[in-house]
Amino acid sequence: MGSLALFSGSSHEADQPAAGEQGLEAAVVPASYRPAEVDIAELLGMIPKPSEPEAAVETVQKAPEVQLPAKGSPRHEVAVYVNRTFRVPMREARQVTDWAIEIGEARDLDPLLILAVIGTESSFRPDARSGAGAEGLMQVMTKVHAEKFKAFGGPEAAFDPYANIVVGTEILSYLIKRTGSVGNALKWYSGAANMASDNGYGARVLKEHGLLSVAAQGNSDLAVRLSRAKQRAPEEAKKSVKRLGFSRWASLYEKEHAARARTVGMTTEADRGERSPES
């Protein structure tokens, strides 16, 4: 499970939205539409648990090498974008990206949407708290969703990055199914279910999602430049926002593997040509 200390050194740029300004879904969602109670323990069983440290031993053992994502992979490029845009140390950027992927797969949700909500809500600050009581990376209304944090030890776990992403993603996933689209779900998530407008909240999240998509397609440099210039992603980086399931993220890896296979194939053919005897 994550810890607050993991992100203690992070900061964010001045042009990012202030944490908590958007409010959250549950404060104004009609009682008849609020999410049904979810068995968080069952949900956690679907998500790979972060490894726990083994008990200390007297003899010093060499630490195993950490397998980092390959440079240029969607996972790596997204972490680079988070690192550079939100000024989050690279280790923490990788960790939150990995969690978003794991939890997104368990809930059939695009990890980039989870990360876009985190960026919009808290600028990746796990200690963020709004005046309305929204807390943590995804600015969950802890008082409303206290039951969902029982599996993590109680409401104070709202500031634990991993626990907050699990609960926030569960709420967002439910709202997408309940309202029928990502756009409507974001409106409810922002606390504007009963209002005519969400004051641009959904547009900000989807803009961030577009920039993360550019990074995931292998161009974190362009994504960072667009973010700093406050520009949107090119049209080709945008996809339908009706569902945004995990398959969208999986397709990025399929494309990457196919591209690598073509590169390896071309290299092999070139090597064969160089070794071919002259006629």
Determine the 3-state secondary structure of 129 from DSSP.
strand
Which pLDDT belongs to residue 43? Answer: 60
Are 25 and 141 spatial neighbours (Cβ–Cβ below 8 Å)?
Answer: yes
Which pLDDT belongs to residue 72? Answer: 85
Say how far apart CA 234 and CA 245 lie, in whole Å.
21
pTM above 0.75, yes or no: no
Condensed to tens digits (0 to 9), the pLDDT of residues 191-236 reads 999 999 999 999 999 999 999 999 999 999 999 999 999 999 986 5
CA distances to 10, 47, 96, 153 from 92, in Å:
9, 19, 6, 23
Q: Average pLDDT, stretch 115-143?
A: 97
Of 97, 46, 107, 74, give the one whose Cα is nearest residue 249. Answer: 74
Query: What residue ranges define each of the domains in the chain, with the CATH number in brackets?
Result: 4-47+67-257 (1.10.530.10)
Condensed to tens digits (0 to 9), the pLDDT of residues 11-41 reads 444 444 444 444 444 444 444 444 555 566 6
Please state, rounded to an integer, the average pLDDT across all residues of the chain.
Answer: 79
